[in-house]
């Protein structure tokens, strides 16, 4: 837990809206990024992030202070997104992960842009059950145990889904001539 975070949570538990506002400020980008990675649409991600913070505030009394707040908040975010996918049958592509190296050469940039497009198209084809663990692992940088907690799955299931997702993604990318990214 970050410096002062426990104090902020305790103050928020006692109705201090400024403390809650600071918590939201610290986590808004990460929560939005996870929601965008799962839902693929900025408007839906914004709605989901908003809902996640509302649910977190309403359920703050259930948070165990000895645990990592970020894992708890990311679990709420993943559940909000999962419910949104289920409810609206969005199953839209992952549009947000792009961890390609930066450079200023225009020719290299075109190659990177094309690779990014191919990677995103390939991610479109992954089922949400595989896409969600990938987002939590590679965007939110959660470990297996935290992903399992966030998705309400056994840790072994998370490992299997991540392994299968990476294998499927790698196979799809190799078929499209992109290597070294999965």
154: Cβ–Cβ under 8 A, 6 or more apart, which residues?
148
* pLDDT at residue 87 in the model: 66
On the question of a common fold for 1-92 and 97-182, the answer reads no
> What averages of pLDDT result for each successive group of 10 residues across the chain (182 residues)?
78 93 95 87 91 94 89 92 70 39 57 73 81 82 86 91 88 80 52
Structural fold of domain 97-182? Arc Repressor Mutant, subunit A (1.10.10)
Per domain, the residue ranges of the chain are 1-92, 97-182
Residue range 1-92, CATH number = 1.10.1740.10
* pLDDT at residue 115 in the model: 75
Angle between helical axes of 128-138 and 155-175 (0-180°, round to 10)? 100
pTM: 0.63
């Amino acid at each position: 837990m970050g410096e002062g975070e426990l104090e902020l949570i305790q103050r928020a538990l006692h109705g201090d809206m400024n403390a809650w506002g600071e918590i939201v400020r610290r986590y808004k980008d990460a929560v939005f990024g996870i929601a965008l990675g799962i839902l693929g649409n900025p408007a839906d991600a914004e709605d989901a992030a908003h809902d996640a913070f509302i649910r977190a505030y309403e359920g703050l009394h259930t948070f165990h202070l000895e645990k990592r707040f970020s894992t708890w908040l990311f679990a709420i975010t993943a559940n909000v997104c999962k419910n949104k996918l289920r409810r609206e049958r969005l199953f839209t592509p992952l549009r947000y992960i792009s961890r390609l190296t930066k450079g200023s050469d225009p020719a290299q940039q075109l190659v990177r842009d094309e690779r990014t497009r191919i990677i995103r198209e390939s991610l479109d084809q992954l089922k949400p059950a595989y896409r969600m663990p990938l987002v939590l692992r590679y965007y939110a940088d959660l470990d297996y145990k935290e992903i399992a907690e966030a998705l309400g799955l056994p840790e072994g299931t998370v490992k299997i889904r991540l392994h299968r997702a990476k294998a499927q993604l790698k196979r799809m990318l190799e078929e499209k001539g992109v290597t070294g990214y999965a």
